[in-house]
Amino acid sequence: MRAAEQLAQGLRMTYREACRQAIREALNDDPRAFLMGEDVGLYGGCYAVTKGLLEEFGPERIRDTPLAESAFVGAGIGAALAGMRPIVEIMTCNFSLLALDQIMNNAATIPHMSGGQFAVPLVIRMATGAGRQLAAQHSHSLEGWYAHIPGLKVLAPGTVEDARYMLKPALADPNPVLIFEHIVLYNAEDELDPAVTSVDISSAKVRREGRDVTILTYGNSLPKSLEAAETLAGEGIEAEVVDLRVLRPLDDATIFDSVTRTRRCVIVDEGWKSGSISAEIGARLVEERFFELDAPLRRVCSREVPIPYAGHLEEAALPQLPQIVEAARSLMGRK
């Protein structure tokens, strides 16, 4: 069955397939769009997201690159400046550090330093997060680092719907957009609503309404937080789950509105606690909504260690459902 027919009938789709369909749509809609990255062509992508696209669009639109992030990210920036619409895939976010100069000192700054004469309509996709036993060098969650940089927009789709529809508005943005796709979510499945054909990439979204405590989260911590909310509901605690999904710029309005109503907040972030996106959100809440809080903020983050390889240690290092539930219980004065 063709992808368009599947969408029309609202059939289930994996997060991986949603990413693939988003890329396919972009390439079909705009002849200026092309995909480049390591193993995106013949191999079909490290996580099989781009499988089949080379056969469909050819090597001019699906370009395998050398193992040289600084070179091909720089080439993507140049292509964007020249009027193309490049989608650059970096295999995992730890490899993006090899192109940090290009991302931070070129893509993010050229529009400003040129006085608005040049735009950089570049999208960089990269896998992020841990949970697949890929050890310390391939289990980073660096989206919070990039959310520190003015000039970038940072997206973290935590649902199949967002994975399917975030790419199109990202490509339409005149400034560089980074999309962090969590590796554990690629196999996640959900049914796409055929009535939905686009999503907002400027705001957070309330995924579950509640009155007692707000859980702010994103990425692979979203399903864990939703499960925690179900557990808490069985104990009479109604948790509101807010999917941040846009890490820069943060949607302060949605965050503040939720916390003002519930008066308690747990922030779940797979990044390390020190200097994390959770720290930034916590600081903003203290600055702007301190007197609305009935209890201290709670943060559930990864342990301050390089992510272990061993499965049981990796699990212990990452935010998990029991810690989220316990953090919410503590704010309600329960053990």
DSSP assignment of 190-226 equals EEPPTT-----SSS-EEEE--SSEEEEE-TTHHHHHH
Could you give the CA distance from residue 8 to residue 21 in angstroms, rounded to a whole number? 14
Q: How many CB atoms lie within 10 A of CB 14?
A: 17
Q: What are phi and psi of 139, to 5 degrees?
A: -130, 25
Could you give the CA distance from residue 17 to residue 125 in angstroms, rounded to a whole number? 15
Q: At what angle do helices 252-262 and 277-289 cross, to 10 degrees?
A: 60
Strand arrangement, sheet containing 246-248:
62-64, 33-37, 85-92, 123-128, 177-182, 153-155, 246-248
Of 17, 38, 69, 181, which residue is the catalytic one?
69
Q: Which amino acid is at 75?
A: A
Instruction: Examine the residue annotation and report whether 138 is marked as an active-site residue of this protein.
Output: yes
Of 17, 25, 38, 138, which residue is the catalytic one?
138
CA nearest to 65, candidates 99, 88, 46, 95: 88
Contact between 259 and 293 under an 8 Å Cβ cutoff? The reply is yes
CA nearest to 155, candidates 145, 170, 140: 170
Q: What are phi and psi of 331, to 5 degrees?
A: -70, -25
Instruction: Examine the residue annotation and report whether 191 is marked as an active-site residue of this protein.
Output: no
Active site residues: 69, 138
